[in-house]
Amino acid sequence: MGIPEYIHRHGFRRWYERQLIESHAYLTLAFVALILLASGIEVLADSTGFNYFAMLFAAALGGTLMLVAWRRFTVLLARAEQFAESATCASCRSWGEFRVLGQESTVEGDPPESGRPRWLRVRCTRCGNEWRIG
């Protein structure tokens, strides 16, 4: 489900909360992967033969997983904060109370890392003011 559909169905506040929870779950995963990387490197010095390659693989897996999880964390958090900063209506000062009218053109296969849509066109549910967030 895309961002406009999710906001329409559940509201902006719930979308924002979900983005924060999901991004911090990725941060936790990155921390656990960092521990796997560090422990793999530490055990690597004492390993020989098959165990050496197994520990090398575990350390490489931990490092790769850490980088992917960290990247995902930063992208989700940055997009959520970018939308939240401009989610206040200029007329009535209500935060997060709007309907999505349009969005930046996106392709169905855009990866979440692309940060799309980068902007949404919205209308306040209280006063009818229109503006762009993002």
Residue span of the structural domain in which 95 resides: 3-133
In tens, the pLDDT along 101-134 reads: 988 776 666 665 555 677 889 999 999 999 999 8
Report the pLDDT value the prediction gives residue 109, as an integer from 0 to 100: 66
Q: What are the beta bridge partners of residue 95?
A: 88
Q: How many domains does the chain have?
A: 1
In tens, the pLDDT along 29-82 reads: 999 999 999 998 888 888 888 888 988 998 999 999 999 999 999 999 998 999
Global confidence as pTM: 0.79
Report the pLDDT value the prediction gives residue 116, as an integer from 0 to 100: 63
**What are the C-alpha distances in Å from 121 to residues 24, 38, 71, 76, 117?**
27, 45, 27, 20, 11
Mean pLDDT of 21-25: 96
Spatial distance between the Cα atoms of 125 and 63, rounded to a whole number of angstroms: 46
H helices, E strands: number in the chain? 3, 3
- Token pair for 18: 């979900």
Mean pLDDT of 7-19: 93
